[in-house]
Structure 1
Amino acid sequence: MCGRGGHEFSWEQVYQYLNIPGQPPAGQFRRLNVAPSTRRGQEVQWTELPAVIEDAEDGRRMVRMVWPLVPGWLKGQLPKFSTANCRSEAGVPFSTTVAGKPAFRTAWKRHQRCLVPFSWFYEWDQRSRPRQPWRVMPVSAPMLVFAGLWDESSPPGGSSFRSFTLVTTEPNDLLRDIGHHRAPVLLAPEQWSAWLTGTAEQAEQLLAPPPEGSLRAHRVTTRVNNPGYQGEELLADADSE
């Protein structure tokens, strides 16, 4: 799965790379250790991240969305089950798989698909004890662009908000080599329009492992295990220490 990541880019970079019209906000977006929203006692610490949607009236635009996905029928309440990722299955049509997932099937049926930019994501080697974290980055692209589904939910007496999940698939060789069994669906620029506005059949064809050679990875400190830790140490190669 992809349940942790990082952002280090300017809004201008996002707008240019993702072909978003209009004036980008000023400044940088930098968070070295990003986790989905969490519940602490009775309070929720919400995580809001940039995502891109496209529609016939307003075209392509960037919006803020909560991570993970909050189904509309939960009325704005953070799910007690994991919705950070939506799993696709090899050899099974995604429409069939997602039809059995109540949290996600409405978003898929309504073609509520989005692009979610990340600078990198973290994965943990499932074979090691303690599990070794890795930082996974693009080899040449300025950022990673993941396939997401979004939904809208309205808490009683509050304002509605959008939220997203990342679609996952089988790993490529790199992720297998570092001991992980899933991968986020990574989309190339020529695939973005099909994911955002294509038919369900066109979108399903994009659910494939990341292309070989598109990603690189290095070990990082286990301090990343603490979602609240944001130290520069997270960017260092643990093997060089």
Structure 2
Amino acid sequence: MCGRYSLASEAYNSFIEFMDMGYPFKVPSRFNIAPSQPVAVIRLKGSDKDQAIIPDAPLPEREGALMRWGLVPHFAKEIKNDRPLINARSETIADKPSFRGPFRRRKCLVPADGFYEWKRDGASPIPYHICLQDHAPFTFAGIWEAWTGPNGDDWLETVSLITKPANGVVKKIHHRSPVIIEPQDYDLWLRPEDPPDRKIFDKLSTDIDLKLEMYEVSPFVNNARNDGEECIKPASKDQFKLF
């Protein structure tokens, strides 16, 4: 599971510059992004219009968008906030009714510069921040969906992050980790496929998983209402443990 992550505005700016996208919109520095909040997403232009899929055709340009984290299926009669669909498993994404449509046509990239996981050891879970060793921004694999209210007067775009069995440092504390997309795989991931390529996850590079580092942070991050750099600071100088 991936239930919190971070994205500083400097990291977002670096990512947008790398993507050669100009400046789609401003994002504030956020160190404790939580479900149901608006998040920055990169998708293909026109992917919100269900255009016909042309095999091997050049991909459209990419664009930035803001979406709510927690996918709402297009067939939902109402928005339920009790258990938002924040993650989709790579093993079952092609089969689950809520995810299979977006997996065919609405894949996206979600920029981040780190994410959190909790080690369930003892009375209280211990939070860890996980990021690249050079602290550079990266992208999660995501899928998104558009929901229209029953009367046609509500419109909402929402996103889920893809997870897979954990490996590398993440496996030391949790059995799941987010799918991270390397730059050379952006087009591979974003291209619509109908029927979907069920083996796409085997084609994605996992080298980036070996470039992650992890360290314990303060329980301050446990509360989703808390934000600021305190969320990503090591718990103490003596506890700064890199794995």
TM-score tier, shorter chain, comes to: 0.7 to 0.9
Equivalent in the alignment of 2:87: 85
Q: In structure 1, how many angstroms separate the alpha carbons of the residues matched to 2:237 and 2:119?
A: 18
Equivalent in the alignment of 2:215: 218
Q: Which runs of 5+ in 2 are unaligned?
A: 47-58, 239-243
Match of 1:168 among 158, 163, 167: 163
2:230 match: secondary structure: helix
Is 1:69 aligned to 2:71, yes or no?
yes
Is 1:182 aligned to 2:181, yes or no?
no
Pairwise mapping of residues 4-23 of structure 1 onto structure 2 (< 5 A)?
A: 4-10=4-10, 11-20=12-21, 22-23=22-23
CA RMSD of aligned residues (A): 2.4
Pairwise mapping of residues 136-147 of structure 1 onto structure 2 (< 5 A)?
A: 136-140=130-134, 142-147=136-141
Is 1:150 aligned to 2:144, yes or no?
yes
* Number of corresponding residues: 221
Query: Would the aligned equivalents of 1:137 and 1:215 in 2 still touch at CA under 8 Å?
Result: yes
Corresponding letter in the other structure for 1:144:
F
Match of 1:134 among 123, 128, 133: 128
Change (3 A) 1:195 1:8: same
Is 1:53 aligned to 2:43, yes or no?
yes
Q: In structure 2, how many angstroms separate the alpha carbons of the residues matched to 1:167 and 1:149?
A: 8
Q: In structure 1, how many angstroms separate the alpha carbons of the residues matched to 2:117 and 2:207?
A: 14
Q: In structure 1, how many angstroms separate the alpha carbons of the residues matched to 2:96 and 2:71?
A: 12
Deviations 1:193-237 (A, max 9, x none): 110116432733346756443211110111211100114321211
Deviates more, 1:158-167 or 1:56-65: 56-65
* Cα displacement (A) at 1:15: 1.5
Q: In structure 2, how many angstroms separate the alpha carbons of the residues matched to 1:79 and 1:108?
A: 22
Query: Would the aligned equivalents of 2:74 and 2:146 in 1 still touch at CA under 8 Å?
Result: yes
1:150 match: secondary structure: strand
* Cα displacement (A) at 1:29: 2.4
Q: In structure 1, how many angstroms separate the alpha carbons of the residues matched to 2:133 and 2:183?
A: 15
Q: Which runs of 5+ in 1 are unaligned?
A: 38-46, 90-96
Q: What's the TM-score once normalised by structure 1's chain length?
A: 0.81
Deviates more, 1:152-161 or 1:59-68: 152-161
Deviations 1:52-89 (A, max 9, x none): 11146851111111101111112451354341000123
1:103 match: secondary structure: helix
